Amino acid sequence: MISALSLNPSFDKTVEVDSMRIGHLNRVKSSRTDPGGKGTNVAIVLHRLGIPVRCLGLAGEDGVDQYERMLGELGVPHGFLHIPGAVRTNLKVVSLDGQEVTEINEPGPAVDEKRLKAFLKLVKDNCRGDEMLILTGSLPPGCGTDTYARLMRLLPIPCVLDTTRKTLTDSLEASPFLVKPNRVELEEVIGRRLPTLAEIRRAALQLIDAGARNVLVSLGGEGAMLVNPSGALYSPGLKVKVSSTVGAGDALTAGFVAGFAQTGDFREALRRGMAAGAASVMTDGTQLIRLEDYETLLDRVEIQEV
């Protein structure tokens, strides 16, 4: 079993308007709501790839029943600690004329130390025998930047981490099995531009010196690079029809974890991650991946030693 943690889940509401006009009334043509948050997205993709997964998190008591019902309908096992406040809504406005997306995200309810401790206990009690723990996304208001490090130290199981800035750097000494920054996130924590694969590799090795065991750097349409002390693998981006790149990083993480869980092989993990990432850009906004796209793309992934 793999557990994906979702500390700040959201209702991802996507609405379409003919043409988004700031300061005017914009009439909605279509609307859909999906359960979101990066941890939840990873859990949904893993479930779609046939991997036993559960989603554990903290959620505002106002809306949590609906949130859990939606996850249940998708077949994803879950357990949420209810906290005061409301599950946040992240609004994505798709303007049909230029296909641009405007995002308006709520912060989510604050989590105090007492409730965070209760969540740590929930994870410790439930995840003892798990194969892997996935920690992804920004932290809710009230949580310190060491929160993921505290979660990782609870249990001696490999952890996958996708977060940014100080929350990322403060987590490295807890030795995550894998961290997944994108290029900009890696540049932010290293403090310099990284225009070449050689520089990306050097920067990834700095995260390894600071405690990470493997670093998967995602490069958008240019693909991804996996770095560990024994070498580096690069996979060029797949040429696909791009509908929306929202959630591509979550799909890459889920595909990689699925591949590693099933084969224990880094090359295979990268291959499945790349296919899942590319499959996710072929779908609209919050729809994550279609299995048939993923399966078709698997054979097209190229992997090079660099």
Ligand X SMILES: Nc1ncnc2c1ncn2[C@@H]1O[C@H](COP(=O)(O)OP(=O)(O)OP(=O)(O)O)[C@@H](O)[C@H]1O
- The span from the first CA to the last CA of the chain, in angstroms, equals 33
Q: How far is the CB of 96 from Mg ion (least distance, A)?
A: 26
- Binding to ligand X (CB under 6 A) within 250-269 occurs at 250, 252
Task: Name which of ligand X, Mg ion, none residue 237 binds, using a CB cut-off of 5 to 8 Å depending on partner kind.
Answer: ligand X
Q: Is 60 among the residues that bind Mg ion (CB under 5 A)?
A: no
Nearer to ligand X, 67 or 294 (CB): 294
Distance from C-alpha of 253 to C-alpha of 136, rounded to nearest angstrom: 10
Nearer to Mg ion, 147 or 253 (CB): 253
- Binding to ligand X (CB under 6 A) within 194-253 occurs at 218-221, 223-224, 237-238, 240, 242, 245-250, 252
Nearer to Mg ion, 9 or 249 (CB): 249
- Binding to Mg ion (CB under 5 A) within 231-250 occurs at 249
Q: What is the total count of residues that contact ligand X (CB under 6 A)?
A: 22
Q: Is 46 among the residues that bind ligand X (CB under 6 A)?
A: no
Distance from C-alpha of 233 to C-alpha of 258, rounded to nearest angstrom: 18
- Enzyme catalytic residues: 250
Interface stretch with ligand X, choices 17-25, 89-97, 101-109, 275-283 (CB under 6 A)? 275-283
Q: Is 283 among the residues that bind ligand X (CB under 6 A)?
A: no
Phi-psi region of 24 (alpha: psi -120 to 50; beta: other; left: phi over 0): beta
**CA–CA distance from 169 to each of 115, 116, 174, 185, 254 (Å)?**
24, 20, 10, 11, 22
Structure tokens at 234: 């690069």
Q: How far is the CB of 43 from Mg ion (least distance, A)?
A: 16
Q: Is 281 among the residues that bind ligand X (CB under 6 A)?
A: yes
Task: Name which of Mg ion, ligand X, none residue 49 binds, using a CB cut-off of 5 to 8 Å depending on partner kind.
Answer: none
Closest to 167 measured CA to CA, from 53, 177, 151, 83: 151
**List of residues contacting ligand X (CB under 6 A):** 182, 218-221, 223-224, 237-238, 240, 242, 245-250, 252, 274, 277-278, 281
